Structure 1
Amino acid sequence: MNVEELVRDALREQAVQQPPAPPGFADRVLGARRRRRTRRVASVALATAAVVAIAVGGPLLDSGHKNHVRPSGTVGSGEVQAHPDQSPPRELIGAGDAVLAAYYTAKIQPQTDRRAVSARTYWLLDPKTGKYEKDSRWSFVAVAPGLRTAAVLERDLPAHRIGLLDLATRKVERWIPVRHGVGGLAFSYDGTRLVATTYDENPDLRVREKLFRGKGKRDGWMWGVRFGESSRSGFYDLDVASGAGSWSPVASGRDINSRADFAFSRTGELVYGQRIGGRDGLQQFYDLKGDEVAAPANEKYLRSDVPARLSPSGRLAALGLTKEVGGRPGRSYSSVRDPRTGKEITKVRGGHLLAWADEKHLIAWERVTSLEEEYRPQLVLVTIGSDKVVPLSGVQKPAEPTDLVEPWEPVFARR
């Protein structure tokens, strides 16, 4: 039995167990129909232009020509849009439903001899031009599904108001004031709600400590005051349309990092945060009152450090790195599993799975160096059932030992 048959059988077995469609699903379907109807009208009016577009455009993911790549395109398109010569990217990168909505670099900014802050600088996708534009106003950015709105925090963390930024105009349409200082943001899967993680101190605090390297010691900047401690105090569950919501306290404990942001479960009924160690896949779930609860059945085997998590249908789970193969370059493989049983269905290329493009494709970091060399990755599109990868970005350059600027990190959102 080949991989595609295994996946097909696994999906059939789970079809009867699927949860109801997420909130707002009907609105998204109706919106998609309206967009398709608009595109059909436009295609009749612009027939000549369409002929030219066919000659130069790239195919959709399900067209059967998955290795062809279009250099650029519109945000509304489901085509593979790649720029393997750009790192960090200057023009739109995306595939299927997944779009690189933003990216950021982080620079260590010393405040004293022993204390510093890792400050982010963001480049946000302009949906009109398809280019990434620097916006240094924000310390934290989360992009909503649809790529029209971003939730933003101003430079000094923790922040006492949350901005809702129009990505087309780059103007804050509304501010949501909060009593408890916020350091992290994440949208729900349907984009209607926002979880805002609160901290008593800046979650990006760094302290200088002695590090063992080679034959001696040298100073280095480490996260937080002490490893395994955080000033995290709780979270807000906010309605995006009205700004209304409530704050729930959560004890910080000693088993989380200094930045340990919350995110919603797929249904939005729970939130989860990263934890250090334990048997729960580096994640702990909470109800919306802040009480610890068991993981939902379809997220029990996920890991908070693997951003892709559940596939669009919820029937497949992206797990962490399971295998590396030597050579030039080396190859990495990650596990794709049944989310309800944890049983592995197959492996897929990619050392770090970032986002699902559709039910068969994911965007991942993949190494371009051998296992004996320093790790250097690039964004690639990987396919379940295939060993081929399609480069999407250029290769990320490693930070120099004396460099206080960390390599660029992607922020993905759904179209």
Structure 2
Amino acid sequence: MNVDELVRDALREQAAELAASGPGFADRVLAVRRRRRTRRLVCAAAAATAVVAVAVGVPLPDTGKEEVRPAAVLDGNGVLAHPDQSPPRDLIAAGRSVLAAHYTAEPVTRSDGRTVLTRTYRLLDPETGRYEKDDRWSFVAVAPGARTAAVLERELPARRIGVLDLATGRVDRWIPVDRGVGGLAFSRDGGRLVATTYGEHPDLLERVEGSSGDVAWLPRFGGTSSRSGFYVLDVADGRGDWSPVAKRQDIGGRQDFAFSRDGRLVYAQVIGGRDGLQQFHDLAGDEVAAPADERHLRSDVGARLSPDGRLAALGLTAEAGDRSWSGIRDPRTGEEVARVRGAELLAWADDRRLIAWERAPGPGEYRPRLVLVTLGSEKVVPLSGVREPDGASETVEWQPVFAERRA
């Protein structure tokens, strides 16, 4: 049995017996994909090739070529695409959503002998419109407007949270905390942070070796999560309270909380559930029922509710050749009301368009790129270059971080 089969079987068994993947789990699974050249599974950083910057205002046929127009960095709501860049070096945006950062992740063995999945970020400079490497941070959450970020230093769990000015690269202030923090998320208005607390590093990995000698680094399966609770903090003054959450069984260490749409609750994956289901908590840490308009969402689909709240993004529902479709639900009834191109729906550009991962045309392995898709249309507008499959000479598996674009 090779490692690909080992990983697939392990994930299937654990999903059946324990919990489904939750928010932030996808980047950890990326660390278990096989490198044909190195014979181990990592997400490696590499340089991108020469680029062509483009800006588009309307969807065009799926050619990867767009008319070039000048555009301001964060102003407006048009489409800025760089279909020859992977990972992107210059601003990508569509409608209300902007690619505010992206990162790679790879297993790193620490001095204590434990191996953790370690991220390396490139953050958007809102003045230049370019993504700049900043390896000071283990975790970055970008605020709406993409001008400020909350950051955690390299050693997790962290005992302080930085408020970073993305234009200057300087930390404006530090928010000290009494309990170690491993994950961050902003409220929809950007005024508050939910900071998930852990007793140990949330991204610890286990080494798994296949019969052919291939090595995989997997999230630790089973056991008890070290997640202990969460802070809800005011970004302006750093004040807030910590709420405990009971420790439960899980399939991996990271189970970060995020705010509900109205900010009155927080949610994470359902412990012991499947298919991206989610558990909501009130701000005291007690389990509560899901809000009516979020009851049928999935914790593993980043796009969630449309801006007007009338549509809910689902996971992959169908594939045919080099095309994928994801479902769109009525968020209150759970009924599927439409399908849209895309293998993974990441963010809403407006009430009819979304940013998604979708495979590039042609046969062969899955070669995803960021695209703009539209309800009622099968056309896609490429936003980024192709993230090449394992075995490519310049393989860079990067993960996007989106934020709301504001003037």
Tell me which interval the TM-score lies in, with the shorter structure as reference length.
0.7 to 0.9
Contact 2:157 2:182 in 1 (8 A): yes
Letter in 1 for 2:99: L
Deviation at 1:198, TM superposition (A): 0.6
| 1:381 aligns to 2:357 (yes or no) | no
Letter in 2 for 1:408: W
Q: How many Å separate the matches in 2 of 1:113 and 1:323?
A: 45
Letter in 1 for 2:76: S
Q: 1:395 aligned to 371, 381, 386, which one?
A: 386
| 1:147 aligns to 2:146 (yes or no) | yes
Aligned to 1:21: none
Q: How many Å separate the matches in 1 of 2:114 and 2:402?
A: 31
| 1:201 aligns to 2:200 (yes or no) | yes
CA RMSD of aligned residues (A): 2.4
Q: 1:289 aligned to 284, 287, 290, which one?
A: 284
Aligned to 2:47: none
Q: Deviations over 1:303-361 (max 9, x none)?
A: 010000000011110010000012xxx10000011000011110000000000000010
Q: Please give the residue correspondences for 1:100-249 in structure 2 after superposition, counting only pairs within 5 Å.
A: 100-111=99-110, 115-211=114-210, 216=212, 218-224=214-220, 226-227=221-222, 229-249=224-244
| Percentage of pairs with the same residue | 64
Q: Which has the higher helix share?
A: 1
Aligned to 2:35: none
Aligned residue for 1:150, secondary structure, equals strand
Q: Please give the residue correspondences for 1:274-353 in structure 2 after superposition, counting only pairs within 5 Å.
A: 274-275=269-270, 278=273, 281-326=276-321, 330-353=322-345
The TM-score, its normalising length taken from structure 1, stands at: 0.79
Q: How many Å separate the matches in 2 of 1:398 and 1:189?
A: 34
Aligned residue for 2:397, secondary structure, equals strand
Structure with greater Cα Rg:
1
Q: Rate the CA distance shift 1:116–1:80 in 2: closer, same or farther, 3 A.
A: same
Letter in 2 for 1:352: E
Unaligned 5+ segments in structure 2 are 1-52, 61-65
| 1:408 aligns to 2:398 (yes or no) | yes
Aligned residue for 1:393, secondary structure, equals coil
More contact order relative to length (CA 8 Å, sep ≥ 6): 2
Q: How many Å separate the matches in 1 of 2:196 and 2:67?
A: 38
Deviation at 1:138, TM superposition (A): 0.5
Deviation at 1:398, TM superposition (A): 3.0
Deviation at 1:174, TM superposition (A): 0.8
Contact 2:387 2:396 in 1 (8 A): no
Aligned residue for 1:170, secondary structure, equals coil
Aligned residue for 2:162, secondary structure, equals strand
Deviation at 1:369, TM superposition (A): 5.8
Deviation at 1:375, TM superposition (A): 1.8
Contact 1:88 1:396 in 2 (8 A): yes
Q: Rate the CA distance shift 1:280–1:249 in 2: closer, same or farther, 3 A.
A: farther
Q: 1:66 aligned to 59, 62, 70, which one?
A: 59
Unaligned 5+ segments in structure 1 are 1-55
